[in-house]
Structure 1
Amino acid sequence: MNRLLDYTQNKDKTEHQLYVTGFGCDPENACTIMEQTKRTWGKPVDKGILAYHIIQSFSPGEASPDKVHEIGCEFARRFLADRFECTISTHLDKGHLHNHIVCNSVSYADGRMFRNDFDTYYRKIRQLSDNLCRENHLSVIETDGKGQSYFEWLGGKTGNPRIRSMVYKDVELAIASADSFVGFISEMQGMGYAVKYGPRVEHLSVRHKNAQRNVRIDRLDPRFSEQALREYYRQMHQLPADMRREYKEQHTPQPQWRPAEFPPAVKRMRCRTSFSKPYRKVTGFMACYYHYCRLLRRACRGKATKRCYFLLREDFLKFNRYQKQTQLLWEHRLETLDDVQAYKADLENQIQHLARQRKVLYRQKQEPERAARDEQIQKLTKQIKALRHEFYICADIEADAAMVQEKLRQAELAAQQERNEVKEDEYKRRSSRPDGARGASVFRGGY
């Protein structure tokens, strides 16, 4: 809490603390006063939630620092000051002005803890902040009440898609591939989805064979509702054939999920000298897992062929699992299944040895050596936990190795087939005349 208060009251960020105000406490000794309040009501000062941190941001150039700080103080006066000590610090170091509000977790009035839940945030903190902005004629972010789960946000951040993101992308592909609503249903079923629709079903929903529950696709995008899809295909069928492609491009929804941006590739040049040490070529499981993880990442980013995408999309959610297996194989240079099994047996022996040592320490009951014994037990437990983690990864490798090799083989074969089809189509296109007839090949020789 002391570090948090030091950061929010930084002189370089607050114009030498010109925009720092305290309610129920002096900003300079706010940490001491908040801790004293906790001790008064018998609350811990070294564990649990010690304070709450609220950040209130404003659009660039919309308000002056004085106005922003005044709004922050009014927010604290209406919501916090009658029960909790708090400090308000306005930071000027970014392109947008923002307030840092630090509030004690224990009330000085009755000793009760600050209630942190969705109702407090949406109906009190956010609503009050929005009202203050409207009163001062400042902009407010208007939402439709639908948020994004943490796992969806994390999937977009790390580049690993989640179930809802995968469903969204598959629905887009089905809409683009089908020419009617019935064709759309067939496309979704062909991708492995069970589809619920019809007059007795209120909302169109799908469920993948590896998922546990249905997903209402109209919640992903209103244009995915059954009524909207039927109207989309009805309108398309009324158009001439040459206008249908343009209609599709204008009305097909754009992808909502985007993978994380990766840093640009840096070109490097190799220089062979007497100091250069050639590395041994990677083979076996290491090479297989490395290529498979690379192929999964390319498919997630939309850089693989369509056949590879449909073949590998069920393994997108297991990317972290395969990545951990690849890292273990790389660190310990395990190139064959026998190497993995030998390393796994060695891990099991180490775990048993450390468990016996810990068991002996558990049986010792001498009080003077209790602190040192507990510390040693914690150290052994930490080592056992790390070894067990690697042991479980080895077991996963044994279970997944054959499948990974087969999927990699199928993906490479599918990619090669698709490349061959593209080459064949290109050859047919180039060898045909403008009127559509095939041209005769001509041999021209010389004497």
Structure 2
Amino acid sequence: MAVTKLWAVKTNLGKVIDYANNPNKTRNPKYTEEQYQALADVLTYAKDEEKTEKQFFVDGINCNPSTARDQFITTKEYFGKTDGIQAYHGYMSFKEQDITPEKAQEVGMEFARRAWGKRFQVVVTCHLNTQHLHCHFVINSISFVDGKRMVDNEKNWFKFRHIADAVCKEYGLHFNPNPKFERPTNYYFDKLEKAGMPNRYQLIRDAINHAIEHSKSVAEVGYALRDMGYGYDFNPRRKYWTVKPPGYTKSIRLNRVGDDYTREAILRRLQENRSRVGMHRYTQLTVVSRQYRLPTRGDKIRRIGGLYGLYLYYCYRLGKLPSYRKLNSAQIHYYFKEELLKLDELSEQTRLLGKHGIQTDEQLLQYKSSVEGEIKSLTADRTDLRKMTRRKIDDVELSQAKDKISQITEKLRTLRKEVKLCNGIAERSGLMKEHLAQVLAEEEKSKGKESREYDQRR
């Protein structure tokens, strides 16, 4: 069975493949632009000698594999299309255990000729470093024939997979004639959920659960979501109902949130609410004890003031402070729920403000400038040490210089992280103040309503 995949290599990708393990990548000084770096990385990976037995299984279609990068770039420059997607990287993996590398390379070449060989330059390699042999394809995004980019039929798996099936059938390899497309799950959200961290879908589930719990109709669910800052579209003629979390511009289909949040599931849960028998007290209490509000930890934190006090109080409202405080996400105001995804960053920014006693924007800017100056000085020192290692020095001096370079590099990593935290504080502090002001205003309004209801009961 042959498994085929294809994805784009874009200009803003620092690393095309995360598991690339070739530490000694060469770089042609003729091309130093960032838009060509992704193209060089993917070609280097596809021709990795450790995986292809010293390039015994490396071939090119309409190009020479040893100079493929330069030929790809020449084609782009000739047609004036050096921007956008630089190339497409794909693979074909074989399930058969007894297939030889020669046959796998032959199948990969035949597939590439039929799929892209008439209009594009292609590098085809066969990797032998895994349990299943697999071929890699690197296809130039610009055609050398007419200068046009790939069309849908040439880069859509549902279209070119028929070519792969036909080739496998001719060579006697097993293939699945009726594959089922499964929507890929979001790895980032799954990882957060497994770790017990809040994520976007979990927040949506909590909001909908809270709305359904207090509703008996679709309209009431919509009103409750609107009060929490959510947009929604519960049109009965639509196949999929959608919600739009606060702060987002795109809506999310509820069938992607979970099986209990589809249109049919929501209607069923509302029907259960309507059929539930409500139990109420026959005689109402006539005596209501007056409760007095005592000072809380939040009141003490608010008296600290400054940027540090702002971040402490923000972490308190998110349930992060103190550490033993367990706050239900349903009790958190919807203005703060999206910040639950950034708790680690907020904690680091809070520690930075407390460690250096930063209270004002001026102090923050002054500290950032001092760190940037230290970074500049350490970078110059590291450059001098690197120049020293290139001279003829004994092994002891060379070892000492490398140790100092490692220490400076680690220090620079820490300082650059602090500069990033300072930039984040400067950007986020204004929005935090705005959110806190709105939340406190709503809470004061709610307290006034509760006080009036209490006076009426008296």
State the TM-score, normalizing by the size of structure 1. Answer: 0.51
Match of 2:263 in 1: 226
Distance 1:285 1:20 in 2: 59
After TM superposition, the structure 1 stretch with the greater mean CA deviation from structure 2, 17-26 or 197-206, is 197-206
Distance 1:292 1:34, change over 3 A: same
Distance 1:328 1:317 in 2: 17
Match of 1:100 in 2: 136
Distance 1:97 1:233 in 2: 53
Is 1:120 the counterpart of 2:120 in the alignment? Answer: no
Structure 1 residues 93-242: aligned runs within 5 Å: 93-110=129-146, 112-115=147-150, 120-122=155-157, 124-125=159-160, 128-129=163-164, 136-139=173-176, 142-143=180-181, 154-156=188-190, 163=200, 166-171=203-208, 177=213, 188=225, 191-193=228-230, 196-197=233-234, 204-208=241-245, 210-212=247-249, 215-218=252-255, 220-221=257-258, 224-231=261-268
Aligned residues of 1:9 and 1:17 also touching (Cα < 8 A)? yes
Unpaired runs of at least 5, structure 1: 240-282, 352-385, 409-447
Is 1:6 the counterpart of 2:27 in the alignment? Answer: no
After TM superposition, the structure 1 stretch with the greater mean CA deviation from structure 2, 212-221 or 399-408, is 399-408
Distance 1:165 1:311, change over 3 A: closer
The number of equivalent residue pairs is: 319
The Cα of 1:102 is off from its aligned counterpart by 1.4
1:84 to 90, 103, 120: 120
The Cα of 1:73 is off from its aligned counterpart by 1.7
Distance 1:205 1:90, change over 3 A: same
Match of 1:244 in 2: none
Aligned residues of 2:199 and 2:341 also touching (Cα < 8 A)? no
Distance 1:288 1:119, change over 3 A: farther
The Cα of 1:217 is off from its aligned counterpart by 1.9
2:332 to 311, 319, 326: 311
Distance 1:334 1:97, change over 3 A: same
Distance 1:204 1:388, change over 3 A: closer
Distance 1:107 1:402, change over 3 A: closer
Match of 1:54 in 2: 89
What is the identity, as a one-letter code, of the residue corresponding to 2:93?
F
The Cα of 1:6 is off from its aligned counterpart by 3.2
Distance 1:129 1:298 in 2: 53
The Cα of 1:397 is off from its aligned counterpart by 2.2
Deviations 1:352-393 (A, max 9, x none): xxxxxxxxxxxxxxxxxxxxxxxxxxxxxxxxxx99995784
Unpaired runs of at least 5, structure 2: 1-38, 277-304, 373-417, 441-458
Distance 2:362 2:53 in 1: 62
State the TM-score, normalizing by the size of structure 2. Answer: 0.50
Match of 2:62 in 1: 24
Is 1:397 the counterpart of 2:434 in the alignment? Answer: no
Distance 2:432 2:95 in 1: 52
What is the identity, as a one-letter code, of the residue corresponding to 2:59?
T
Distance 2:154 2:71 in 1: 28
The Cα of 1:78 is off from its aligned counterpart by 0.8
Distance 2:362 2:343 in 1: 17
The Cα of 1:124 is off from its aligned counterpart by 3.9
Deviations 1:426-445 (A, max 9, x none): xxxxxxxxxxxxxxxxxxxx
Distance 1:323 1:329 in 2: 10
What is the identity, as a one-letter code, of the residue corresponding to 2:105?
H
Distance 1:33 1:202 in 2: 49
Q: Secondary structure at the match of 1:12?
A: helix
Match of 1:436 in 2: none
Aligned residues of 2:230 and 2:244 also touching (Cα < 8 A)? yes
Match of 2:110 in 1: 74
Aligned residues of 2:210 and 2:330 also touching (Cα < 8 A)? no
Distance 2:156 2:363 in 1: 54
Distance 1:34 1:310 in 2: 56
Aligned residues of 1:13 and 1:93 also touching (Cα < 8 A)? yes
What is the identity, as a one-letter code, of the residue corresponding to 2:336?
D
Distance 1:118 1:290, change over 3 A: farther
Distance 1:106 1:125 in 2: 18
Q: Secondary structure at the match of 1:18?
A: coil
The Cα of 1:317 is off from its aligned counterpart by 2.9
Match of 1:335 in 2: 357
Structure 1 residues 337-376: aligned runs within 5 Å: 337=359, 339-344=360-365
